[in-house]
Structure formats: C-alpha cells, structure tokens
C-alpha cells in the first residue's frame, strides 16, 4: 500500500479523504509543508499539499531525497509550487475543478452581506437594537458586474449575476465570444471593465501578468464607490492600494476571501496572538470590509470532489500510465 504524506490537514480534510480512500496509507500532518516539515514525508512516494504550503526548491530537494515522486495538489491553484525546479524531479497533479458553484455562491454572499449591511444588523439585533438607520443598500438589479476571469467559477458567478437582473461585462485574456453570446454578457478591455462596473469580482488564477491587477492606477479608473470582491488569489490585489482607496471612500466596500499575506494566518486560530500585519488589522476593523478565511470552496460537495479527484490522480500515477490528465507542466 502506497504511503501519502498529507500536509496542512484539517478535520474536514481527514473526514472527506478517509471516506473516499480505500487504497492508500495516508499519514496526516497538521503542519504546513515547508523546508522544516518536509523531512516528515520521508518514505512516502506521494505528498499531498494545499494552497498555503511552500513548495520551493529546498522543499522539493528534501522530498526527492526522501523518495517522493508525486506531488498531489488538492486545489486548483499552484502558484506556490516552483514548477520549473520540480520539472524532471516530481510529477505535479492538481484538482482543476471541484465545485465552481461553491466559490461563485460565496462571492455573491459577500456582495449581499456588504450591500445590505447584514453583518451590522446581525450584531445590532443580538443587542436588541432594531434600528435600521445606516443600513441602506441598493438594488443589484440593473447594476453592472465586472467579472475578471471567465473560467468555470467566473461562468457560475456570471449566471448568478444574470439571475439577479444585472448587466455583466467581463475581461479575460482569452475571451470566448461564443460563450458570451450564449450567456448574454460582453467582453471588454480591463480598462473598460474598471470604468464601467458597479461591482468588480475576481475569478482568475494568479500569474506574473495579473499580479496586483487591482492597484493604485486601476483603482483611479474605477467608478467612485465601486464594490470589489476577491475569492481567487490574494496577490491579485495590492492591499495597501485597496486600504488607501477605502479610506478615501473611492471604494465603497470590499469582500475578501483571500489576502496576499495570508500564508501564516488563514486556516489557523490566531485569536490569542498579537497581529503583526498592520494592513490586515486595519482592513478587518473597517465596517465596509468583510474578510473570510479562504473558505469559499468549503462545501460538502467540493470537499468530496477534491478527495475523489486527488485520489484518482494518485491512481493514475501509481497505475504506471505515464500520462496524467491533471498534470501541471511548466
């Protein structure tokens, strides 16, 4: 029975993988995969990692020295993997899609919470304060949603927006005009999206080209009082620029399920720690910002799909096929 070293394991991970697993000896480690923890994988031919693990050259060398041949990313993103260094040393497989609906629905939940001030009314009514002063929102119907990235998650979010009666414009470096025509949205340039959107939502992978796509310059092109929502990757937004624009009231509200410096914070209980990230501390304290802890994917259906596809990826590798449907290549 092949051994899999499973890093950054949480109770929900164990539950979903134990339910799906029949063929592997999975060793769960609560620690993230780093240069310090990589030796724990010695003797395991496969390692299972997640979005906030560090898979750099030092980690790859340690894994290979311990006999690891396969890196199973139980997520769609892989910007934390040094793919160039891994080439020829490790086969890297991922889960390209699990539940686009989970992320898209969480995105709309953030928008609804921010717009209708539900987070504020929840606190008020628990204190028997039933005043509705300061809770005014706006109709989503007729507003323009700007969607950056039209992959499966972006498409699911577009469907939700259209269901609310919103107009949708989108930017994607690889536009699919046939898709746009069939769904009823329009592709525009990034600048036109910034200028024309009431709500901007990010649904794209992190690349060298789009890092900090939301920055000081792009914010200047946006409508005043725009909403910005990010359920993709934290580094798509320059956090300092976002904070500054929120303070100046150029941006009306922000919903963030990710943060560019989240690695040592998200997925962990830091309630007893002194916060050293001043930008995050200020964002958390703002009444027009809602931050969730990279949980947009977290549904029963998504967890089940992640486990099933990850283990199927392992089956392909250990079955000796030599070609892998979900391989990440440089």
State the DSSP string of 101-144.
HHHHHHHHHHHHHHHHTHHHHHHHHHTT----TT------TT-E
Asked if residue 197 belongs to a domain, the reply is yes
Same domain for 65 and 130, yes or no, is no
Asked if residue 27 belongs to a domain, the reply is yes
Asked if residue 44 belongs to a domain, the reply is yes
Q: Domain count of the chain?
A: 2
Same domain for 54 and 122, yes or no, is no
Same domain for 148 and 54, yes or no, is no
Q: Which member of 106, 260, 262, 316 is catalytic? A: 262
Same domain for 215 and 239, yes or no, is yes
Q: Which residues pair with 55 in a beta bridge?
A: 81
Instruction: Indicate if 262 belongs to the active site.
Output: yes
Report the candidate in 27, 65, 64, 62 with the shortest Cα–Cα distance to residue 48: 27
Q: Phi then psi for 239, rounded to 5 degrees?
A: -60, -35
Domain range enclosing 195 = 100-291
**Intra-chain end-to-end CA distance of the chain, in Å:** 30
**Per-residue pLDDT averaged across 96-111, rounded?**
95
Cβ–Cβ < 8 Å for 160, 104: yes
The DSSP letter of residue 92 is: E
Asked if residue 328 belongs to a domain, the reply is no
Same domain for 44 and 30, yes or no, is yes
Given a cut of 90, whether residue 182 has pLDDT beyond it is: yes
pLDDT at position 129, please?
98
| Residue 217, domain CATH | 3.40.50.720
Same domain for 41 and 105, yes or no, is no
Report the candidate in 62, 99, 60 with the shortest Cα–Cα distance to residue 80: 60
Cβ–Cβ < 8 Å for 71, 45: no
114 band by pLDDT with thresholds 50, 70 and 90: very high
Asked if residue 327 belongs to a domain, the reply is no
284 band by pLDDT with thresholds 50, 70 and 90: very high
**Per-residue pLDDT averaged across 68-75, rounded?**
97
Say how far apart CA 180 and CA 188 lie, in whole Å: 11
Given a cut of 90, whether residue 77 has pLDDT beyond it is: no
- List, for residues 14-27, the tens digit of each pLDDT value: 999 999 999 999 99
Q: How many CB atoms lie within 10 A of CB 116?
A: 15
Q: Which member of 74, 106, 203, 294 is catalytic? A: 294
269 band by pLDDT with thresholds 50, 70 and 90: confident
pLDDT at position 329, please?
83
Same domain for 237 and 108, yes or no, is yes
Given a cut of 80, whether residue 322 has pLDDT beyond it is: no
Report the candidate in 257, 265, 267 with the shortest Cα–Cα distance to residue 234: 257
Same domain for 108 and 186, yes or no, is yes
Say how far apart CA 244 and CA 228 lie, in whole Å: 14
Question: The tokens of 33 are what?
Answer: 């995969």
Given a cut of 90, whether residue 137 has pLDDT beyond it is: yes
Say how far apart CA 53 and CA 32 lie, in whole Å: 5
**Per-residue pLDDT averaged across 283-308, rounded?**
96
Asked if residue 324 belongs to a domain, the reply is no
Same domain for 57 and 119, yes or no, is no
Given a cut of 90, whether residue 275 has pLDDT beyond it is: no
CB burial readout 273-297, b (16+ within 10 A) else e: eeeebeebeebeeeebbbbbbbebb
Cβ–Cβ < 8 Å for 112, 118: yes
Asked if residue 265 belongs to a domain, the reply is yes
pLDDT at position 170, please?
98
Same domain for 106 and 65, yes or no, is no
Considering all CA atoms of the chain, what is the largest pairwise distance in Å, rounded to the nearest integer? Answer: 65
Asked if residue 329 belongs to a domain, the reply is no
Q: How many CB atoms lie within 10 A of CB 88?
A: 8
Same domain for 165 and 111, yes or no, is yes
The DSSP letter of residue 51 is: T
Same domain for 231 and 273, yes or no, is yes
Strand-by-strand arrangement of the 144-148 sheet = 186-187, 167-171, 144-148, 199-202, 226-230, 251-256, 289-291
**Per-residue pLDDT averaged across 203-224, rounded?**
96
pLDDT at position 97, please?
86
Q: Which member of 94, 106, 233, 260 is catalytic? A: 233
Identify the helix (H) or strand (E) that includes residue 3: strand 3-6
Instruction: Indicate if 233 belongs to the active site.
Output: yes
**Per-residue pLDDT averaged across 219-230, rounded?**
97
pLDDT at position 330, please?
76
């Amino acid at each position: 029975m092949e051994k899999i070293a499973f890093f950054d394991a949480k109770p929900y991970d164990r539950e979903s993988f134990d339910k799906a697993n029949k063929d592997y000896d999975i060793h769960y480690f609560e620690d993230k995969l780093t240069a310090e923890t990589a030796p724990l994988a010695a003797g395991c031919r496969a390692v299972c990692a997640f979005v906030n693990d560090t898979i750099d050259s030092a980690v790859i060398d340690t894994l290979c020295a311990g006999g690891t041949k396969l890196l199973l990313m139980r997520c769609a993103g892989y910007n934390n993997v040094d793919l160039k260094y891994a080439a020829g040393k490790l086969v890297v497989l991922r889960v390209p899609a699990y539940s686009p609906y989970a992320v898209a629905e969480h995105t709309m939940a953030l928008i609804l919470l921010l717009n209708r001030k539900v987070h504020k009314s929840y606190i008020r009514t628990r204190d028997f304060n039933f005043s509705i002063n300061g809770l005014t929102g706006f109709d989503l119907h007729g507003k323009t949603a700007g969607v950056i990235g039209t992959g499966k998650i972006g498409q699911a979010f577009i469907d939700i927006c259209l269901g609310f009666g919103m107009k949708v414009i989108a930017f994607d470096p690889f536009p699919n005009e046939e898709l746009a025509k069939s769904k009823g949205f329009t592709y525009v340039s990034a600048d036109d999206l910034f200028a024309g959107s009431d709500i901007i939502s990010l649904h794209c992978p992190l690349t060298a080209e789009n890092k900090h796509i939301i920055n000081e310059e792009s914010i200047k092109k946006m409508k005043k009082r725009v909403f910005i929502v990010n359920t993709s990757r934290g580094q798509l937004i320059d956090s300092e620029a976002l904070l500054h624009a929120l303070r100046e009231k150029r941006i009306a509200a922000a919903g963030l399920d990710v943060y560019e410096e989240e690695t040592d914070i998200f997925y962990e209980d830091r309630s007893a720690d002194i916060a050293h990230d001043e930008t995050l501390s200020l964002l958390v304290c703002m009444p027009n910002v809602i931050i969730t802890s990279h949980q947009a994917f977290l549904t029963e259906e998504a967890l089940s799909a992640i486990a099933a596809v990850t283990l199927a990826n392992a089956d392909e590798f250990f079955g000796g096929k030599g070609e892998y449907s979900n391989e990440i290549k440089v």
